[in-house]
Amino acid sequence: MYATNYHRASSVEEAVNLLKSGDDAKFVSGGQTLIPTMKQRLAAPSDLVDLRHIDAMKGISIDGVQVTIGAATTHAEVASSAELAGVCAAICSLAAHIGDPAVRHMGTIGGSVANNDPAADYPAAVLGLDAQVRTSKRTIDAADFFNGMFDTALEEDEVITAITFQAPEKAAYVKYPNPASRYAMCGVFAARLKDGSVRVAITGAGNDGVFRHTEMEEALAADWSPAAIASCSVDEGDMLSDIHGDSAYRANLVRVIAKRAVEAAA
Amino acid sequence: MSKVSMTVNGKTVEREVEDRMLLVEFLREELNLTGTHVGCDTSQCGACVVHVDGKAVKSCTQLAVQASGCEVVTIEGLATGGDLHPMQAAFKENHGLQCGFCTPGMIMTAVDLVNRVGAGNLDEKTIRENLEGNICRCTGYHNIVRSIEAGAKAMA
**HEC string for B16-31:** EECCCCEHHHHHHHHC
Q: Which residues in A have their CB inside 8 Å of a CB on B? A: 1-6, 8, 28, 31-32, 35-36, 38-40, 48, 50, 52, 76, 99-103, 105-106, 182
In angstroms, the CA B151 to CA B156 distance is 9
Longest dimension (CA), chain B: 46
Question: Is there a contact between A101 and B63 if contact means CB atoms under 8 Å apart?
Answer: no
pLDDT tens digits for B29-84? 999 999 999 999 899 999 999 999 999 999 999 999 999 999 999 999 999 989 99
Residue B130, chain A, CB below 8 Å: the answer is: yes
User: Between the CA of residue A5 and those of A2, A45, A67, B17, what are the distances in Å?
Assistant: 10, 8, 35, 11
Residue B113, chain A, CB below 8 Å: the answer is: yes
Instruction: Give burial (CB, 10 Å; 0-12/13-18/19+) of B99.
Output: exposed
Residue type, position A28, single letter? V
Bin A188: left if φ > 0, else alpha if -120 < ψ < 50, else beta. Answer: beta
Distance from CA of A193 to the nearest CA of B (A): 31
| Test mutation, B49, B57, B111, chain A, max A CBs within 10 A | B57
Q: What is the pLDDT of residue A194?
A: 96
Residues spanned by CATH 3.10.20.30 within chain B? 2-77
Are the C-beta atoms of residues A171 and A192 closer than 8 Å to each other? yes
**CATH 3.90.1150.10 applies to domain A5-49:** no
In angstroms, the CA A225 to CA A230 distance is 9
Question: Is there a contact between B56 and A105 if contact means CB atoms under 8 Å apart?
Answer: yes
Residue type, position A252, single letter? N
| Test mutation, B44, B61, B62, chain A, max A CBs within 10 A | B61
Residues spanned by CATH 1.10.150.120 within chain B? 86-155
B18, B55, B132: residue with CB nearest A182? B132
Residue A210 neighbours by CB under 8 Å, 6+ apart: A116, A118, A123, A124, A127, A146, A201, A202, A203
A35, A103, A105: residue with CB nearest B63? A35
B18, B22, B65: residue with CB nearest A3? B18
Question: Confidence class of residue B154 from pLDDT cuts 50, 70 and 90?
Answer: very high
Residue of chain A whose alpha carbon sits nearest to that of B129: A100
User: Hey, where are the domains in chain A?
Assistant: 5-49, 59-166, 170-264
CATH of domain B86-155: 1.10.150.120
Size of interface A-B (CB pairs under 8 A): 75
> Which parts of chain A register pLDDT below 70?
none
Residue type, position A202, single letter? I
User: Between the CA of residue A252 and those of A136, A231, B71, what are the distances in Å?
Assistant: 40, 11, 48
Q: A67: closest CA among A197, A196, A162, A149?
A: A162
B66, B116, B133: residue with CB nearest A31? B66
Q: What is the layout of strands, in order, in the sheet containing A5-8?
A: A5-8, A47-50, A25-28
Q: A164: closest CA among A187, A189, A145, A183?
A: A145
Distance from CA of B142 to the nearest CA of A (A): 19
Distance from CA of A22 to the nearest CA of B (A): 15
List, in sequence order, every residue forming a beta bridge with A207; answer none if it has no partner.
A209
B60, B65, B133: residue with CB nearest A100? B133
CATH of domain A170-264: 3.30.390.50
- Indicate the length of chain B as a whole number: 156
Instruction: Give burial (CB, 10 Å; 0-12/13-18/19+) of A145.
Output: buried
> Which fold is adopted by the domain B2-77?
Ubiquitin-like (UB roll) (3.10.20)
CATH class of this structure's domain A59-166: alpha beta
- DSSP 8-state secondary structure symbol assigned to residue B85: P
Window B:89-108, CB contacts with A under 8 Å: none
Are the C-beta atoms of residues B87 and B51 closer than 8 Å to each other? no
Instruction: List CB contacts (< 8 A) between B135 and chain A.
Output: none
In angstroms, the CA B129 to CA B35 distance is 25
In angstroms, the CA B64 to CA B53 distance is 14
In angstroms, the CA A97 to CA A42 distance is 26
pLDDT tens digits for B117-127? 999 889 999 99
Q: In the predicted model, what is the mean pLDDT of chain B?
A: 97
Q: Mark out the alpha helices in chain B (DSSP H runs).
A: 23-25, 86-93, 103-117, 124-130, 142-155
Q: What is the pLDDT of residue B121?
A: 85
